[in-house]
């Protein structure tokens, strides 16, 4: 199934996901190097069938979830989503992963973030978007700050991984 250039950046574009993307997502969610910084994905056993079911449900409910696709070669490299959308207060949470490790630290995450925020602020009419990120995930924190997110709080010792306690940095950005 093709990908559609719904939101186009300088390095990537955001496309509604295709059902075939579930296999990539399952690979990423079962790669601990990718999954541990995400949170719950690292603790779950995510089969291809469960990813297909989750994706089918997201598509059926028309949730704002996108595949991140390299503009140069149409390769799916990640996914991003707005969730916990509060229409009354015009707020949402953001999640993003660049699952293809060869694309890490190359600006694709920042480009995708800008596209998703533009979508949230200008098409969904949101006023604020927030996220939580483990403090050990310095690459992500740097990307969030570069696109304008600000620190708003800290959940101390929010996650214990292999006996080590990690804080979660809470960040947000306003329209």
Query: According to the 3-state scheme, what is the secondary structure of 60-114?
Result: HCCCCEEEEEECCCCCEEEEEEEEEEECCCCEEEEEEEECCHHHCCCCHHHHHHH
At residue 35 the predicted structure's pLDDT band, cuts being 50, 70 and 90, is confident
**Rounded to whole angstroms, how far apart are CA atoms 2 and 16?**
10
* pLDDT greater than 90 at residue 65: yes
pLDDT given at position 160: 86
Each residue's pLDDT tens digit, 122-149? 999 999 999 999 999 999 999 999 999 9
Per DSSP, the three-state class of 173 is strand
Q: Identify whether the C-beta of residue 42 lies closer than 8 Å to the C-beta of residue 36.
A: yes
pLDDT given at position 44: 67
* pLDDT greater than 90 at residue 98: yes
Mean pLDDT, rounded, for 5-19: 95
């Amino acid at each position: 199934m093709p990908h559609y250039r719904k939101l186009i950046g300088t390095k990537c574009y955001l496309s509604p996901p295709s059902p075939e993307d579930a296999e990539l997502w399952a690979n990423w969610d079962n790669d601990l190097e990718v999954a541990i910084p995400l949170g719950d994905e690292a603790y779950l056993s995510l089969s291809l069938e469960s990813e297909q079911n989750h994706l089918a449900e997201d598509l059926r409910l028309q949730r704002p979830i996108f595949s991140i696709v390299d503009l140069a070669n149409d390769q799916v490299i990640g996914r991003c989503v707005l969730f916990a959308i509060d229409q009354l207060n015009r707020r949402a949470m953001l999640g993003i992963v660049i699952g293809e490790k060869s694309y890490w630290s190359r600006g694709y995450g920042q480009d995708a973030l800008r596209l998703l925020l533009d979508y949230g602020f200008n098409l969904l009419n949101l006023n604020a978007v927030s996220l939580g990120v483990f403090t050990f995930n310095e690459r992500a924190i740097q990307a969030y700050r570069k696109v304008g997110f600000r620190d708003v709080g800290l959940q101390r010792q929010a996650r214990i991984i292999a006996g080590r306690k990690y804080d979660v940095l809470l960040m947000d950005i306003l329209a």
